[in-house]
């Protein structure tokens, strides 16, 4: 099966094979491997040894986003969330339920937010201490410019939390050049092409120390993750980790570096996105985003207006041709989502486009433009 979803992504056989071992997390060999993974992750984020720390947390992306909010935004304080997609809505919910006050900056989900919009929102409310932004919005496929936004946040003397879950490893990020960032967060199972199970934040150590006591939760306290590393070493855990997923993530990181790191991954995904964006148009469908706003992670397409089209039927039929895409959509209007990330190459995309054309014919979908 060719998995064209924005995570958990299609992985290489070597990565999956690394899961098939028993490992004791506290074994010295594994501790050394885990410590090395943390250093590598910090380096990929543009972190500097001694200044920035990689702070992993068991579980999904929502968990690390919640942990970053709880750790860096004090209880009762305000977080401006740039609302241009479904993952931003999720960030806002995580913050509200953690007792942080959310100020929503509404932006349509078919374009990036501008630095001016963020600067204006910050100027309008001096009580806002943090900005939360989704780097690559996996709802629609847009990308927010975290460098330009960061400059606006820095100029306003505020702090930023970046949900880079679907961006990290593909889109560039340089923590040392963005001192306003408290945390950049991501998971094992997206652009690094590992398996699900573990999430990561990379943060400035000085801020982690300053923020000790904010979290109001032991499980979600990144300061405590740091304190444990100080006490017991960078290879240590507070609670049982998904050791096999971590081990496989290490293999995925090795492959990532060998492929040429972030620039190579971005180039491959961008080509996948370009082929998809052009290919669906050649089949008569309309992409949700203009190419100028199209990111390299996911291509969203308007569902065809033809009454013969239903998403679930389409997805099930496509699966019979060996291609799996999401069976739900995250845009305000009906769409379908095709992932560009994972161990997916240009030939895979060409194969998928052929299958999509065949299935639309099979279903008798003649009117393929948006409703």
Ligand X SMILES: *Cc1c(COP(=O)(O)O)cnc(C)c1O
Q: Does residue 46 bind ligand X (CB under 6 A)?
A: no
Query: Residues 82-111 vs ligand X: string with x where CB under 6 A?
Result: -----x------------------------
In angstroms, the CA 64 to CA 56 distance is 8
Q: Which is nearer to ligand X, 88 or 365 (CB)?
A: 88
Q: Which of 58, 140, 144, 166 binds ligand X (CB under 6 A)?
A: 166
Q: Which of 2, 60, 175, 195 binds ligand X (CB under 6 A)?
A: 60
Q: 3-state secondary structure string, 113-138? A: CCHHHHHHHHHHCCCEEEEEEECECC
In angstroms, the CA 42 to CA 330 distance is 31
User: Is 233 strand, coil or helix?
Assistant: coil
In angstroms, the CA 217 to CA 70 distance is 8
Q: Which is nearer to ligand X, 4 or 359 (CB)?
A: 4
Cis peptide before 8 (omega within 30 of 0): yes
Q: Which of 54, 143, 165, 301 binds ligand X (CB under 6 A)?
A: 165
Site for ligand X in 331-360 (CB under 6 A): none
Q: Does residue 192 bind ligand X (CB under 6 A)?
A: no
How many other C-beta atoms can be found within 10 angstroms of the C-beta atom of residue 26? 12
Q: Does residue 58 bind ligand X (CB under 6 A)?
A: no
Phi and psi at 174, nearest 5°, equal -135, 95
In angstroms, the CA 104 to CA 149 distance is 16
Q: Which is nearer to ligand X, 193 or 360 (CB)?
A: 193
336 secondary structure, DSSP code: E
Task: Tell me the window of 24-32, 59-67, 336-344, 347-355 that interacts with ligand X (CB under 6 A).
Answer: 59-67
Q: How far is the CB of 50 from ligand X (least distance, A)?
A: 29
Count Cβ atoms within 10 A of the Cβ of residue 206 and give its class: 0-12 exposed, 13-18 middle, 19 or more buried.
exposed
Q: Which is nearer to ligand X, 30 or 87 (CB)?
A: 87
Q: Which of 61, 204, 287, 339 binds ligand X (CB under 6 A)?
A: 61
In angstroms, the CA 214 to CA 237 distance is 21
* Per-residue CA distances from 70 to 75, 77, 193 (Å): 7, 10, 27
Q: Does residue 68 bind ligand X (CB under 6 A)?
A: no
Q: Does residue 191 bind ligand X (CB under 6 A)?
A: no
32 Cβ partners below 8 Å, 6+ apart?
Answer: 235
Q: Which is nearer to ligand X, 135 or 234 (CB)?
A: 135
Residue nearest to ligand X (CB): 61
Q: Does residue 134 bind ligand X (CB under 6 A)?
A: yes
Task: Tell me the window of 73-81, 144-152, 160-168, 315-323 that interacts with ligand X (CB under 6 A).
Answer: 160-168
83 secondary structure, DSSP code: E
In angstroms, the CA 233 to CA 31 distance is 9
Q: Which is nearer to ligand X, 235 or 241 (CB)?
A: 241
Q: Which residues bind ligand X (CB under 6 A)?
A: 6-7, 60-62, 87, 134, 138, 163, 165-166, 187
């Amino acid at each position: 099966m060719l998995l064209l979803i924005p995570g958990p992504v299609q992985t290489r056989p070597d990565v999956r094979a690394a899961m098939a071992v028993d490992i004791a997390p506290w074994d010295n060999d594994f501790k050394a491997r885990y410590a090395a993974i943390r250093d590598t992750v910090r380096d990929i984020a543009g972190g500097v040894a001694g200044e920035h720390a990689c702070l992993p947390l068991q579980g999904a992306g929502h968990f690390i986003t919640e942990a970053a909010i709880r750790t860096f935004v004090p209880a009762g304080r305000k977080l401006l969330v740039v609302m241009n997609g479904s993952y931003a809505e999720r960030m806002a919910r995580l913050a509200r339920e953690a007792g942080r006050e959310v100020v929503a900056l509404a932006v349509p989900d078919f374009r990036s937010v501008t630095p001016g919009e963020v600067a204006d929102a910050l100027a309008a409310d001096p009580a806002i201490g943090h900005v939360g932004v989704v780097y690559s919005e996996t709802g629609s496929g847009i990308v927010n410019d975290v460098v330009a936004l960061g400059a606006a946040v820095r100029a306003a003397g505020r702090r930023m939390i970046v949900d880079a879950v679907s961006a990290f490893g593909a889109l560039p990020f340089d923590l040392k050049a963005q001192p306003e960032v408290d945390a950049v967060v991501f998971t094992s199972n997206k652009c690094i092409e590992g398996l699900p199970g573990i999430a990561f934040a990379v943060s400035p150590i000085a801020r982690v120390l300053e923020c000790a006591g904010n979290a109001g939760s032991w499980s979600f306290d990144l300061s405590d993750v740091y304190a444990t590393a100080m006490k017991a070493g960078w290879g240590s855990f507070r609670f049982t980790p998904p050791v096999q997923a971590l081990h496989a993530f290490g293999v995925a990181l090795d492959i990532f570096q060998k492929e040429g790191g972030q620039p190579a991954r971005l180039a491959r995904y961008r080509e996948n996105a370009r082929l998809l964006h052009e290919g669906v148009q050649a089949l008569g469908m309309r992409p949700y985003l203009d190419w100028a706003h199209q990111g390299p992670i996911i291509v969203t397409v308007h569902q065809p207006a033809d009454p013969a089209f239903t998403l679930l039927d389409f997805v099930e039929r496509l699966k019979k041709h060996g291609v799996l895409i999401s069976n739900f959509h995250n845009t305000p209007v009906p769409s379908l989502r095709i992932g560009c990330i994972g161990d997916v190459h240009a030939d895979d995309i060409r194969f998928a486009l052929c299958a999509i054309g065949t299935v639309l014919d099979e279903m008798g979908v003649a009117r393929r433009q948006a409703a």
